[in-house]
Amino acid sequence: MSAVDYTVDGKTYEGYFLRPKGKDVAPVVVIAHAWGGLGDNEREKAQRVSEMGYAAFAVDVYGKGMRGATVEECQALMNPLVEDRAELQKRLAGGLAAAKQQVGVDPKKAAAIGFCFGGLCVLDMARANHDVLGVASFHGLFRPAENVPAPKITAKVLMEHGWHDPMATPEDVMAITKELEGAGADWQLHVHGKSMHSFTTLGADNKEMGTVYNADADRRSFESLENYLAELF
């Protein structure tokens, strides 16, 4: 895996790129990070994607060196972008462009996956009609994008959701299914019982906050992802 600096509007961002072994050219899966910024969790997910036979590019929407450690720091990084979706979408487009420029990537075959805040990011990539075949949100946030009030979505959409996620309630789930139906999307929703937020995040164990790793939901959701990516590509 190698660090890749790229720029959006003159600002430097630091992504990570990993090629699959034994392939000269491969589709690319963009990985959108959780609220703390690109870190070990996203690198672990990139490794899993590469083992499926795809190139992986973890994007950075905060800026090089901008990472959060405490709840307050993470909120300070994430909240401005949740409130300014046009800016978030622009940064995501820049990361996607950087991913497609990497050696060994087939630029016509791209998808995006995201975790927690990253789930909101990839759903916004679909809403904004970024050039991806499909997106997959894992324990993502479902808040609609105010700058795209009536999206028409051409990318396929997969959502892997924990039923007991306090950050995406059953009401939020019903709202996004209504949005996707109105957008004409080809969408899937897989709901995991006994699962909270961050169910694929190794080491997550904060029941009060609702962020708890679940090995079964992690395994099942990535098996679903593997089938989904095979269909897309």
**Digit-coded pLDDT (tens) for 17-29:** 999 999 999 999 9
pLDDT at 1 exceeding the cut of 90? no
Q: Are 161 and 177 in contact (CB under 8 A)?
A: no
Supply the pLDDT for residue 129: 98
Q: Are 179 and 144 in contact (CB under 8 A)?
A: yes
Supply the pLDDT for residue 110: 98
Q: Supply the DSSP symbol for 168.
A: S
Of 13, 4, 8, 5, the closest CA to residue 94 belongs to: 8
pTM of the model: 0.97
Average pLDDT in the 150-169 region?
A: 97
At 3, the pLDDT band (50, 70, 90 cuts) reads: very high
Q: Which domains does the chain have, with CATH numbers?
A: 2-232 (3.40.50.1820)
**Digit-coded pLDDT (tens) for 37-57:** 999 999 999 999 999 999 999
Chain centroid to CA 134: how far?
11
**Digit-coded pLDDT (tens) for 114-146:** 999 999 999 999 999 999 999 999 999 999 999
